[in-house]
């Protein structure tokens, strides 16, 4: 179908190449510029006569033939091309020979042979033909009707406005649904389709405001919607509707038809009835419930007496054990054995600069003693960086610091334990440090003001090469023992 435009400046179709003229006059080919009807033609189109009127773009000339039955009045023969039989488009007239006209496109093909008029076979000069704009505008002004008139479209208008109507304005034109649901319908039914039928339209649930495709509405209401009103499954009230997410609470706490056990079940009552009938059961069986409660209290009283005796015995035993443990803490050196697993990976990460320091669990020198924490740098720190394992100790803030002697000055000894199965062959790596309680070491040894003091220890605790030579690593695990020589005499 031709695309009939409505522009005011007509651009010549590019087929003419400057060879059609008026009054035998030649015009430049495409190498030279030419202004026609106020517009610049990039291909050097021929000069034409007549006033300009809306016309289709040149690219539309090769579209399908126009249905001549759509003209309101029978199309006169002069408006038809004698070659293609279609309505004339950009008519070219043989003005000096016979005055007949053909389509611009047909004339372009006619020039390839010895040109003759297709009506009376009169030899024609292709240089004397011209583009008849006045006749072209006359055709554009012919009255046509919509191709959808058989479906009820009443539009009639000029030929030049036909395509705009069909493409943009005709309510009877067939279109596809914009939601890609596959439906095809007349444009006038678009809103109806979107409002009622389109399965791909996003709609809002009227109960929970969830947004979903119309085709998923049934599944949403059946399985997902938390606010869908549902009747009580116990049929306690035929008119009552409860949101899905409140239905369980209704059944368990409110519904009068819910079956439930008597509250005195734990003392032996086995009665079961609906919630609405339970008050009647309590009233009629009050004496039996009171008797059952009295019997149960007597049983519990006897059991409670036995438990009290047992609890007193356990309390005395715990007190004795606590005293024994306290005595042992004061006469034994405080220590921690720290198990470090996955040694190979952690050493590799330390060498790569990730996770340099590992921290031990906290421990105390006695029940009410100093609170400490050890740390280890598997790839070394300071002077031992890259060649040794480094170990350190930190004094942490404790619950009994106000009762302890400060600064901390007890000897701390580190051991890397040899895991040889033969105990006689074991050779532990040992490092011992005796803190110097001078003012300069106050940040390390003084009573902690923050969560923990600065660490002190040995940067060259154990060489990497030495660690690999014996059984310090077994099952990719090492053990570090930390011992504090605290006899408990200065502790509370």
Do residues 435 and 408 make contact, with C-beta atoms less than 8 angstroms apart?
yes
pLDDT tens for each residue of 186-220: 888 888 888 888 888 888 898 888 888 888 888 88
Residue 33 is predicted with a pLDDT of: 31
CB count in 10 Å sphere of residue 438: 9
Residue 492 is predicted with a pLDDT of: 61
Residue 328 is predicted with a pLDDT of: 55
pLDDT lower than 70: segments of the chain: 1-64, 96, 111-113, 324-333, 487-492
Structure tokens at 381: 């720190």
Q: What 3-state DSSP class applies to 67?
A: coil
Residue closest to 457 by CA, chosen among 397, 403, 390, 369: 390
Phi/psi of residue 473, each to 5°?
A: -115, 125
Residue 112 is predicted with a pLDDT of: 65
Residue closest to 1 by CA, chosen among 188, 174, 164: 164
Residue 46 is predicted with a pLDDT of: 36
Residue closest to 24 by CA, chosen among 111, 120, 108, 130: 130
Give pTM, 2 decimals: 0.38
Pairwise CA distance, residues 403 & 368, whole Å: 9
Beta strands 129-132 and 48-49 are parallel
């Amino acid at each position: 179908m031709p695309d009939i435009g409505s522009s005011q400046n007509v651009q010549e179709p590019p087929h003419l190449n400057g060879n059609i003229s008026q009054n035998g006059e030649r015009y430049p080919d495409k190498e030279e510029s030419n202004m026609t009807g106020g517009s610049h033609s990039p291909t050097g189109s021929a000069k034409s006569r007549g006033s300009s009127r809306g016309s289709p773009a040149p690219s539309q000339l090769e579209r399908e033939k126009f249905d001549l039955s759509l003209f309101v009045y029978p199309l006169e023969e002069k408006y038809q091309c004698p070659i293609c039989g279609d309505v004339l488009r950009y008519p070219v007239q043989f003005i000096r020979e016979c005055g007949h006209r053909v389509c611009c496109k047909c004339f372009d093909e006619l020039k390839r042979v010895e040109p003759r008029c297709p009506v009376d076979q009169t030899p024609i000069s292709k240089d004397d033909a011209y583009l008849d704009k006045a006749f072209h505008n006359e055709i554009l002004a012919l009255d046509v009707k919509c191709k959808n008139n058989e479906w009820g479209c009443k539009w009639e208008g000029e030929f030049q406005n036909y395509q705009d109507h069909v493409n943009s304005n005709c309510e009877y034109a067939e279109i596809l649904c914009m939601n890609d649901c596959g439906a095809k319908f007349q444009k006038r039914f678009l809103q109806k389709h979107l409002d009622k039928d389109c399965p791909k339209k996003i709609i809002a649930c009227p109960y929970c405001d969830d947004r979903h495709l119309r085709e998923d509405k049934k599944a949403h209401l059946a399985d997902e919607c938390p606010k869908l009103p549902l009747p009580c499954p116990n049929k306690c009230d035929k008119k009552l509707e409860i949101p899905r997410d409140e239905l369980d609470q209704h059944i368990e706490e409110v519904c009068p038809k819910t079956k439930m056990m008597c509250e005195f079940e734990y003392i032996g009552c086995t009665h079961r009835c609906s919630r609405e009938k339970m008050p009647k059961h309590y009233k009629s069986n009050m004496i039996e419930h009171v008797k059952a409660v009295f019997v149960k209290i007597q049983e519990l009283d006897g059991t409670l007496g036995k438990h009290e005796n047992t609890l007193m015995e356990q309390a005395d035993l715990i007190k004795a054990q606590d005293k024994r443990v306290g005595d042992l803490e004061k006469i034994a050196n405080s220590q921690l054995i720290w198990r470090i697993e996955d040694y190979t990976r952690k050493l590799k990460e330390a060498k790569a600069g990730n996770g340099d320091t590992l921290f031990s669990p906290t421990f105390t020198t006695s029940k009410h003693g100093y609170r400490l924490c050890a740390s280890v740098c598997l790839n070394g720190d300071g002077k031992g960086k890259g060649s040794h394992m480094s170990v350190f100790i930190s004094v942490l803030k404790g619950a009994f610091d106000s009762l302890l002697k400060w600064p901390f000055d007890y000897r701390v000894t580190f051991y890397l334990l040899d895991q040889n199965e033969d105990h006689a062959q074991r050779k532990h790596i040992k490092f011992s440090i005796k803190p110097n309680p001078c003012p300069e070491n106050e940040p390390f040894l003084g009573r902690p003001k923050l969560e923990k003091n600065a660490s002190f220890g040995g940067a060259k605790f154990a060489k990497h090469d030495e660690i690999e030579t014996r059984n310090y690593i077994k099952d990719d695990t090492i053990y570090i023992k930390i011992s504090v020589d605290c006899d408990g005499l200065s502790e509370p």
